[in-house]
């Protein structure tokens, strides 16, 4: 039988990290949604140095992303990413196949991270919500006023991301970068019976063709759910 991606990932970990405490295979392969360019996202837990570090390599024809962590670095990244509402480390561990578990930390951390993901991020403060509303409003005005087609497309892309961020964070849902932001939108839609992932993508396609009306409509719909457009009266204090 040909080796599976899990077999390949496990053999790599055993060969390179014989004293690892735990290891997990996460990402698209673990979720069952790989593409032709997907890599093996492998997180390895060591007792100490040389962790933490990140390395990209190729192993048995697979591109591999290694995230080599210590217990302290896992905690550090989880705290920072939870504050940013982009739980990359929690996703890699909490939605994974365990490759190695020498001391029980593999299953323990996977359960902790899975629970963290299911609980969602902290609620936006009023200050954060106002800042996001203002940012989306500003981009929406830029889109309406754009005369150059290339400028309109760039603004449309920025507005797509800012609107998705606003919608998700205002509803205590995780965000992400690139494809992960779209995937979080899809999960939000599936859970709530909405269709924002499709309508925002359709809005971007229309912007590319010179029509800003579909994007404007969906952005205004999102803004209406969180207090509406915000320009006059917005204030952001600088650092002390």
pLDDT one-digit tens code per residue, 40-92: 999 999 999 999 999 999 999 899 999 999 999 999 999 999 999 999 999 99
**For 113-134, what is the mean pLDDT?**
96
**For 98-115, what is the mean pLDDT?**
98
* Other C-beta atoms lying within 10 Å of the C-beta of residue 148: 9
Q: Could you give the 3-state DSSP secondary structure of residue 67?
A: strand
218-to-149, 206, 213 alpha-carbon distances in Å: 20, 12, 9
DSSP state of 75: H
Mean pLDDT across the chain, nearest whole number?
96
Report the candidate in 166, 206, 204 with the shortest Cα–Cα distance to residue 184: 166
* CA separation for the pair 185, 104 (Å, rounded): 34
Which residue segments constitute the domains of the chain, with CATH numbers given? 5-119 (3.30.460.10), 126-225 (1.20.120)
Bridging pattern class, strands 62-70 and 53-59: antiparallel
The pTM of the full predicted model, rounded to 2 decimals, is: 0.89
Query: From the centroid of its chain, how far is CA 88?
Result: 6
**For 134-158, what is the mean pLDDT?**
97
Q: Is the pLDDT of residue 135 over 90?
A: yes
């Amino acid at each position: 039988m040909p080796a599976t991606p899990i077999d390949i990932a496990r053999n790599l970990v055993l060969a390179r990290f014989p004293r690892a405490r735990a290891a997990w295979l996460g990402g698209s392969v673990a979720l069952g949604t790989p593409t032709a360019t997907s890599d093996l996202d492998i997180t390895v837990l060591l007792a100490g140095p040389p962790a933490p570090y990140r390395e990209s390599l190729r192993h048995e024809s697979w591109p591999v992303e290694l995230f080599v962590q210590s217990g302290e670095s896992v905690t550090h990244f989880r705290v920072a990413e939870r504050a940013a509402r982009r739980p990359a480390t929690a996703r890699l561990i909490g939605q994974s196949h365990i490759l190695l578990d020498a001391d029980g930390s593999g299953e323990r951390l996977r359960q902790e991270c899975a629970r963290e993901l299911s609980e969602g991020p902290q609620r936006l403060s009023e200050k954060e919500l106002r800042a996001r509303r203002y940012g989306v409003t500003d981009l929406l005005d830029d889109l309406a006023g754009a005369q150059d087609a290339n400028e309109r497309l760039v603004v449309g892309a920025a507005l797509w991301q800012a609107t998705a961020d606003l919608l998700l964070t205002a509803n205590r849902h995780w965000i992400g970068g690139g494809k992960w932001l779209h995937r979080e939108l899809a999960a939000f839609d599936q859970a709530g019976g909405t269709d924002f992932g499709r309508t925002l993508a359709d809005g971007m396609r229309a912007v590319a063709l010179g029509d800003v009306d579909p994007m404007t409509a969906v952005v205004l719909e999102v803004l209406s759910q969180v207090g509406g457009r915000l320009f006059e009266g917005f204030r952001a204090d600088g650092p002390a």
